[in-house]
Amino acid sequence: MSEQSQSAGGAPNAVVIGASAGAIQALLHILPALPEDYTLPVLIVVHVPAGRRSELTALFAAKCRLPVAEGEDKEPILPGTVTFAPPDYHMLVEPGGTISLSRDEQVFFSRPSIDVLFESAADAYGPALVGVVLTGANEDGAQGLAAVAQAGGVTLVQDPASAYARAMPEAALKACRAARRMSLDGIVAALLAAGRR
């Protein structure tokens, strides 16, 4: 994967998004705006309570032009798909470009954790990754976004002033100096530019 990402000459190979409180509204702004010929896989962690079947996939499948599913273990990561981490599992990216799941301990009281996805994706994709931290009320995602930046990836953060909950984007901006603070419209524009055919 690292060879592949380097040969791409800086063009992204994947997008990772993390969101918590207020996630659905923010994602409803972003995901339906992605066209059906979008070229990147989009991997998403939303903090959801364990023990319930997530309704996120059904909700977004009905609103998106891209196929939306919950990640399964060892599934290949495909361009133009939206994959949510399943409730009560961490979702990670393996260097070969597949998903792996884990039931390791919670991070910031959460499983799935944004940090776990972002750190593994930064490892697998290196500079060919776009990391996005949206609204939320805790600090998950801050370290993960810093790892994306350290690997040379693009880092975007929802402007805390416009976020439903500002703690998470604020923590991400603090931990990741390279991150760009953006409106949701700005994030949509950046993701479209990154994944244009």
Partner 1 sequence: MEDEKIEDIEIRLLLEALYRRYHYDFRNYAQASIKRRLRQARDRQGVATYSALQDKLLHDPAAAAGVLRFLTVQVSDFFRDPSYFKAIRETVVPHLKTYPSLKVWIAGCSAGEELHSFAILFREEGLEDRTLFYATDINQDALEAASRGIYPLDRMKAFTENYRLAGGKASLSDYYSTGYGGAVFDKSLRDRVVFSDHSLVTDAVFSEMQLISCRNVMIYFDRDLQDRAVGLFRDSLGRGGFLGLGSKETLRFSEHVGAFSEFVREEKIYQRRQA
Q: Which residues are catalytic?
A: 20, 47, 140
Q: Smallest gap, in angstroms, from Cβ of residue 87 to partner 1?
A: 10
Q: Smallest gap, in angstroms, from Cβ of residue 110 to partner 1?
A: 15
Q: How many CA atoms lie within 13 A of 45 on its CB side?
A: 32
- Closest-CA residue to 156 (of 17, 6, 13, 34): 17
Given the rule CB under 8 A, which residues bind partner 1?
70-76, 86, 89-90, 92-95, 98, 100-104, 116, 119-120, 123-124, 126, 151-152
Q: How many CA atoms lie within 13 A of 78 on its CB side?
A: 12
Q: Smallest gap, in angstroms, from Cβ of residue 168 to partner 1?
A: 21
- Closest-CA residue to 79 (of 41, 46, 111): 41
The Cα 146–Cα 137 span in angstroms is: 18
The residue (of 72 and 185) whose beta carbon lies closer to partner 1 is 72
The residue (of 6 and 183) whose beta carbon lies closer to partner 1 is 6
- Chain centroid to CA 33: 16
The Cα 155–Cα 120 span in angstroms is: 15
Q: Smallest gap, in angstroms, from Cβ of residue 132 to partner 1?
A: 20
The Cα 163–Cα 170 span in angstroms is: 10
CB 132 within 8 A of CB 187: yes
The residue (of 94 and 159) whose beta carbon lies closer to partner 1 is 94
